[in-house]
Structure 1
Amino acid sequence: MEIKAAVLSGLKEEFKVREVQLDNELQSNEVLVKIAGSGICHTDLAVRDGFLPFPTPSILGHEGSGIVEKIGSAVSKVQIGDHVVMAPASCGSCEPCRSGHPSYCVNFLPLNFGPGRVDGSCPYHDHTGQNVNGMFFGQSSFATYSLVAESGVVKVTKDVPIELLGPLGCGIQTGAGSVLNILKPNPGESIIIFGVGSVGLSGIMAAKAAGCTTIIAVDLYESRLEMAMELGATHIINAKNEKAADVVLKRIMPGGVHYAFDTTGINSVIVDALSSLRSLGKLALVIVAGDKLDIDNMVLMGKSIHYSIEGDSVPDVFIPKLINMYQAGIFPFDKLVKYYDLDEINQAIHDAEKGTTIKAILKM
């Protein structure tokens, strides 16, 4: 079948929207999803710029949502017409998967960064019959249709606009899950969050929902700090002007905060986050931007560091939970979103990189 997709032809190039052929002969465990919307995530841009491996030409995108159009013979999880969010691929059979931690699947890299199916076949082709690498994060959602394994789709309610929900599959569940599933704050406790883009702001909303009474947002941009206040932050710090740990320890919480969450991956910021913690405090990280994490020689006093992938969530459980929170008015992630047409993908990326858009969603 002929679909429309934003194709990356080479590293550091712009995406070009083209007609692509997608095999519509599904394997027994596959689901064909008509994409309604796909969020743009920094991981897509890291692949574009060569920081993460995925061969070109390729179809990226891994925050997709849509409607089931066709199912393989063995699929029982969803039916045609169901609304679904697509989550990262996992094998379902390794120890982390079986113990409820699919984000740490031992096969995570080949399943999410392998340029095709597990059996080596590629269902995407250009007009000459040459492969267009796909199945990125098990979905390649920068397209009008996506082919995904049954395990990678999460059935969701039809009461919420389906085009809104794609980012719950990656960036938003990463931010919320890092707080709710990894740090697990108790009501009345304190947290500081460094970097309040879509991941950090999702952490802010999750911290408020968890009952944190001191929620500190740190960023370089006043507009994002203002958004953090709107979504639940009780204090803001512009790191252009002050070192966050100094502000925390001198003016906000002299003993340090219970929890910290860093979304920047910058060593100096991570050290600042550690310095903001009280004894036995916990820090969650989503990325380390350099080759290694350098921590200053400090007495950690029982402090711990946790590396978060996808918020350590079980998507089939956590994504519907976030939707329920949204419907209850305690997780208003729609305030982060700006929609773009698929043809506007490069403008959407420009706006996201410039910081004028927090979470861009391509609406098909």
Structure 2
Amino acid sequence: MKIKAAVLSAPKTSFNLETIELDTELRSEEILVKIVATGLCHTDLAIRDSQIPFELPAILGHEGSGIVEKIGSNVTKVKIGDHVILAPASCGKCSYCKSGHQSYCINFMPLNFGGKRTDGSCPYHNHSGKEVSAFFFGQSSFATYSLASENNVVKVQDDVELEILGPLGCGIQTGAGTVLNVLQPSAGESIVVSGVGPVGLAAIMAAKAAGCSTIIAVDVHDNRLELAKELGATHVINSLNVVVSDEINNTIHPGGVHYAVDTTGRNAVITQAVGSLRYMGKCVVLAVAPTPNIEIDNAVFTMGRSIQYVVEGDSVPDIFIPQLITLYKKGLFPFDKLIKFYEFDQINQAIEDSEKGITLKAILRMPK
């Protein structure tokens, strides 16, 4: 079948809408999803900028939501017409998957960054018959239709607007899951979040839902800090104006906070985050780092403090995503306040606005 897709043909270039031929002769575990909308995530841009290897030309996109159009012979989780969110791919068979840690699937890299099926076949071809890499995060949702597998679709109820739900499959899940699944703060504990883009704001909303009494947002953009206060931050710091660790340890929370979440991947920011921790405090890093090494001052990395890297919020998407939707419906997780919609053919404008900080979470709506 012919589909429309936003194709990245070369590093550090714009996406071009092209007509792609998709082979819809499904494998037994595959699902064809008509994409309704898809979020734009920093990791898409990391591929564009060659920070993460992925063979080009390629169809990216990994925060898709849509409607099941066709299912393989062995699929039982969903039926045609179901509303679904697409999450990262996992094998479902390794020890990590079976113990509830699909984000650390032993086959995570080939399934999400291999660009083809595991047998090497590619069902996506351009007008000249050339293969186009796809299956990005098991979905490549910068397209009107997506091939996914039973393991990485999450069935959702149809009483919530499907167009807003895609980011729950990656960015929002990452920030919220890091707090609720990994750090698991007790009511009354404290946390600092450095970088309050979509992932950081999801962490802040989750910290509020968990009952943290001190929630500190750190950023260099005052407009983002204002939104952070609206979503649950009790204190905000513009790091252009003060030394973050000094402000926290001396003024906001003497002795340091229990937890820190960094969404920037920048060494200087991580050092300040770790320096803001109390003894035995924990810092979690979420970002695709702009440099090859994480380096922090040894002086702050003492007294039982620790750093952990977390992938996708260490979530079980089939369980966690419906939980987030429930919190949203109860008014406890208003992630829709981050969203700005763009039409599919405005993808490059959405990218530009996101990189300039004009838009927090861009969602591309597919043509109907």
TM-score band (shorter)? over 0.9
Partner of residue 348 from structure 2, selected from 335, 346, 363:
346
Residues 211-259 of structure 1: CA deviation (Å, up to 9, x unaligned): 0011000000000000000000000000010111111011111111111
Mapped partners of 1:308, 1:43: distance in 2: 15
Mapped partners of 2:128, 2:214: distance in 1: 58
Q: Which residue of 1 aligns with 2:106?
A: 106
Residues 26-74 of structure 1: CA deviation (Å, up to 9, x unaligned): 1110000000110000100010111111111110000000000100000
Secondary structure of the structure 2 residue equivalent to 1:249? helix
2:36 is the alignment partner of 1:36 = yes
Q: Which residue of 2 aligns with 1:294?
A: 295
Runs of 5+ consecutive residues of structure 1 not aligned to the other structure: none
RMSD of aligned Cα (Å) = 0.8
Letter paired with 1:291? P
**Which runs of structure 2 are paired with 1:60-139 in the superposition (5 Å)?**
60-139=60-139
Q: Which residue of 2 aligns with 1:224?
A: 224
Q: Which residue of 2 aligns with 1:155?
A: 155
Mapped partners of 1:91, 1:214: distance in 2: 39
Q: Which residue of 2 aligns with 1:46?
A: 46
Mapped partners of 1:347, 1:260: distance in 2: 33
Residues 266-310 of structure 1: CA deviation (Å, up to 9, x unaligned): 111111011101011111111333211112122521112111100
Mapped partners of 1:136, 1:264: distance in 2: 22
Q: Which residue of 2 aligns with 1:248?
A: 248
CA contact (8 A) 1:62 1:170 kept: yes
Mapped partners of 2:351, 2:297: distance in 1: 35
Q: Which residue of 2 aligns with 1:8?
A: 8
Q: How high is the TM-score relative to the length of structure 2?
A: 0.98
Q: Which residue of 1 aligns with 2:189?
A: 189
Mapped partners of 2:228, 2:111: distance in 1: 35
Q: Which residue of 1 aligns with 2:281?
A: 281
Letter paired with 2:314? D
Mapped partners of 2:319, 2:87: distance in 1: 12
Mapped partners of 1:289, 1:116: distance in 2: 27
Mapped partners of 2:224, 2:338: distance in 1: 10
Q: Which residue of 2 aligns with 1:362?
A: 364
Mapped partners of 2:85, 2:71: distance in 1: 15
Secondary structure of the structure 2 residue equivalent to 1:85? strand
CA contact (8 A) 1:182 1:284 kept: no
Q: Which residue of 2 aligns with 1:331?
A: 333
Runs of 5+ consecutive residues of structure 2 not aligned to the other structure: none
1:97 Cα offset (Å):
0.9
Secondary structure of the structure 2 residue equivalent to 1:240? coil
Residues 133-192 of structure 1: CA deviation (Å, up to 9, x unaligned): 111111000000000011110001101011110000000000001111111111011100
Q: Which residue of 2 aligns with 1:261?
A: 261
Residues 82-111 of structure 1: CA deviation (Å, up to 9, x unaligned): 000000011111111111101011111111
Q: Which residue of 1 aligns with 2:317?
A: 315
CA contact (8 A) 1:183 1:283 kept: no
1:129 Cα offset (Å):
1.5
Q: How high is the TM-score relative to the length of structure 1?
A: 0.99
1:261 Cα offset (Å):
0.4
Secondary structure of the structure 2 residue equivalent to 1:325? helix
Q: Which residue of 1 aligns with 2:305?
A: 303
Q: Which residue of 1 aligns with 2:167?
A: 167
Mapped partners of 1:145, 1:297: distance in 2: 49
Secondary structure of the structure 2 residue equivalent to 1:356? coil
CA contact (8 A) 1:20 1:127 kept: yes
Letter paired with 1:136? F
1:126 Cα offset (Å):
1.0
Mapped partners of 2:102, 2:25: distance in 1: 28
Letter paired with 2:311? I
CA contact (8 A) 1:57 1:132 kept: yes
Secondary structure of the structure 1 residue equivalent to 2:141? coil
Mapped partners of 2:321, 2:236: distance in 1: 28
Residues 110-139 of structure 1: CA deviation (Å, up to 9, x unaligned): 110011111111011112221111111110
Mapped partners of 1:97, 1:22: distance in 2: 29
CA contact (8 A) 1:63 1:167 kept: yes
Mapped partners of 1:161, 1:316: distance in 2: 18
